[in-house]
C-alpha cells in the first residue's frame, strides 16, 4: 500500500528532521546513557545520538530524526514526519540545539593518578580480571587511573608506541556505568597488544579483551589483541595494514544481535581485503567479561586453557 501523500511545508520538514532524539526517546520511555560527548540508546547499544543525528555503528549507517523514526519505528516518511510534529503537524518534540561549528580538540591523555588502587580493585573484584594481566598493560603504560575522576583509561597506541586514542571507563560500582573515548581520539587506533604470531583477536571493549586473556593466559602474549571501543572496523583495518605479519583474525564481538551483525559485516570486509582465515569466537554469555566472572567465581575444576584454533567456530 502506498503511503498517503501529505503536503508538508519545508518548515515542517526541517522541524521534524531537527527533533532532539534524546528527548524524543525519553518521552517514549527509553533509557539513554552518556557516551563521551554523545549519548547511547541502551536498548540498541550500537546506536549513538548527537542532537538530531544518529549513527548505528553495527550497520555503519545514520541520519536525522526522520530517518531514525523511519528505521526504528518502521514508519513511512509521512508517518515519521507526522509523529515528530506531535501527531497533528503542529507543536512537536523539543528541537536540537542549533549546530555550532565544533573546534577540533587536540588529543591529550587525562592526567594520571599517583596510583592505580581503584582501577585494580574495580578490574579484579568486579570484573574478575587477573592481576598479572592488568599489571602487563599498566607497565606498558596503556592502562592507568586518571587523577580527576579515577576512571580506568585504556590507551590505544600506534606502531611506535605513541598514544593516539584512549577509552575511559568509570570504576564506581553504583550508578550508570560511564564509558567514552577521550576527545580528539583517532578512531584508527584501539587499546591493543601486538604479538609475534599471525593471529589477531578482536573485541568490542577493553574489559572484554582483558577478560578473554584472563581466561586463556598460558600463551596469550604471542598473539595480538585489539579493542574497537564499539563495533566500527577502522581500528581493525588499520592494525592489519600496519602489521602485515597478521593474517588470521578471530572476531570476539558480543554474543548479541549487534555483535553478530557487526561480525558478518566485518567478515565480508576482511574477505574483500584478502583475509581468508576469519573466524568467530562465541562467548557463552553476552560478552567475555560475563564468562570471565562466571568462571572465576565458580570452583576451579580445570587449569586455565591456552588459546587454540579449536576455539574458533
Residue 70: CATH number of its domain: 3.90.580.10
Q: Residue 177: its pLDDT value, please?
A: 55
Task: Return the residue matching grid coordinates 554474543.
Answer: 255
Range of the domain at 30: 10-84
Whether 77 and 157 share a structural domain: no
Cα–Cα distance for residue pair 189/199, rounded to 1 Å: 18
In the chain, the number of structural domains is 2
35 vs 19, 89, 204, CA distance in Å? 20, 32, 14
Query: For the residues 48-63, what does the mean pLDDT come to?
Result: 83
Whether 57 and 124 share a structural domain: no
Q: Is the pLDDT of residue 224 over 90?
A: yes
Higher pLDDT, 94 or 20: 20
Read out DSSP for 211-280? HHHHHT-TTGGGSEEEE-SSS-SHHHHHHHHH-TT--EEEE---SSHHHHHHHHHHHHHHHHTT--EEEE
Q: Is the pLDDT of residue 83 over 60?
A: yes
Cα–Cα distance for residue pair 244/69, rounded to 1 Å: 42
Cell triple for 148:
580527576
Whether 62 and 178 share a structural domain: no
User: How many CB atoms sit inside 10 A of residue 4's CB?
Assistant: 9
Reported as a single tens digit per residue, the pLDDT across 157-174 is 999 999 999 999 988 765
Higher pLDDT, 51 or 208: 208
Residues 6+ apart with CB under 8 A from 283: 252, 254, 255, 290, 291
Cell triple for 184:
580528539
Reported as a single tens digit per residue, the pLDDT across 5-51 is 567 888 888 888 888 888 888 887 788 887 767 888 888 877 888 88
Whether 126 and 243 share a structural domain: yes
Q: What is the CATH number of the domain that holds 230?
A: 3.40.1360.10
Interior/surface letters 124-153, b for 16+ CB within 10 angstroms, e for the rest: beebbbbeebbebbbeeebbbbbeeebbbb
The backbone region for 60, taken as left when phi is positive above 0, alpha when psi lies in -120 to 50, beta otherwise, is left
Predicted TM-score (pTM) of the model is 0.73
194 lies in some domain = yes
Whether 190 and 248 share a structural domain: yes
Reported as a single tens digit per residue, the pLDDT across 253-267 is 999 888 888 899 899
Cell triple for 174:
553504583
Lowest average pLDDT, out of 20-29, 181-190, 198-207, 298-307, goes to: 298-307
Q: What number of H helices and E strands is found in the chain?
A: 10, 14
Burial (0-12, 13-18, 19+ Cβ within 10 Å), 170: middle
Q: Residue 310: its pLDDT value, please?
A: 38
Whether 80 and 228 share a structural domain: no
Lowest average pLDDT, out of 81-95, 194-208, 215-229, 230-244, goes to: 81-95
Q: State the average pLDDT for the chain.
A: 86
295 lies in some domain = yes
255 lies in some domain = yes
95 lies in some domain = no
Q: Is the pLDDT of residue 117 over 80?
A: yes
97 lies in some domain = no
According to DSSP, residue 38 is labeled E
Cα–Cα distance for residue pair 121/273, rounded to 1 Å: 41
Amino acid at each position: 500500500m502506498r503511503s498517503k501523500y501529505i503536503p508538508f511545508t519545508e518548515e515542517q520538514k526541517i522541524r521534524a528532521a531537527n527533533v532532539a532524539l534524546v528527548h524524543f526517546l525519553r518521552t517514549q520511555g527509553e533509557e539513554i546513557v552518556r557516551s563521551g560527548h554523545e549519548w547511547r540508546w541502551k536498548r540498541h547499544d550500537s546506536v549513538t545520538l548527537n542532537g538530531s543525528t544518529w549513527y548505528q555503528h553495527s550497520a555503519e549507517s545514520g541520519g536525522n530524526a526522520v530517518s531514525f523514526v523511519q528505521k526504528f519505528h518502521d514508519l513511512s516518511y509521512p508517518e515519521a514526519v507526522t509523529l515528530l510534529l506531535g501527531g497533528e503537524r503542529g507543536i512537536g518534540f523539543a528541537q536540537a540545539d542549533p549546530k555550532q561549528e565544533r573546534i577540533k580538540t587536540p588529543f591529550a591523555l587525562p592526567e594520571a593518578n599517583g596510583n592505580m588502587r581503584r582501577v585494580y580493585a574495580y578490574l579484579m573484584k568486579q570484573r574478575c580480571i587477573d592481576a598479572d594481566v592488568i599489571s602487563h598493560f599498566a607497565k606498558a603504560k596503556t592502562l592507568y587511573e586518571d587523577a580527576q575522576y579515577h576512571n580506568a583509561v585504556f590507551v590505544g597506541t600506534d606502531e611506535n608506541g605513541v598514544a593516539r586514542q584512549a577509552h575511559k571507563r568509570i570504576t564506581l560500582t553504583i550508578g550508570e556505568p560511564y564509558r567514552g573515548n577521550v576527545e580528539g581520539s583517532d578512531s584508527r587506533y584501539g587499546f591493543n597488544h601486538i604479538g609475534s604470531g599471525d593471529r589477531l583477536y578482536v573485541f568490542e571493549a577493553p574489559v572484554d579483551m582483558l577478560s578473554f586473556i584472563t581466561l586463556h593466559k598460558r600463551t596469550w602474549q604471542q598473539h595480538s589483541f585489539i579493542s574497537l571501543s564499539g563495533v566500527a572496523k577502522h581500528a581493525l583495518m588499520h592494525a592489519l595494514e600496519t602489521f602485515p605479519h597478521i593474517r588470521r583474525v578471530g572476531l570476539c564481538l558480543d554474543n548479541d544481535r549487534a555483535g553478530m551483525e557487526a561480525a558478518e559485516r566485518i567478515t565480508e570486509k576482511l574477505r574483500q581485503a584478502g583475509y581468508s582465515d576469519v573466524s568467530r569466537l562465541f562467548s557463552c554469555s553476552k560478552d567475555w567479561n560475563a564468562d570471565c566472572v562466571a568462571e572465576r567465581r565458580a570452583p576451579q575444576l580445570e587449569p586455565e586453557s591456552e588459546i587454540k584454533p579449536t576455539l574458533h567456530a
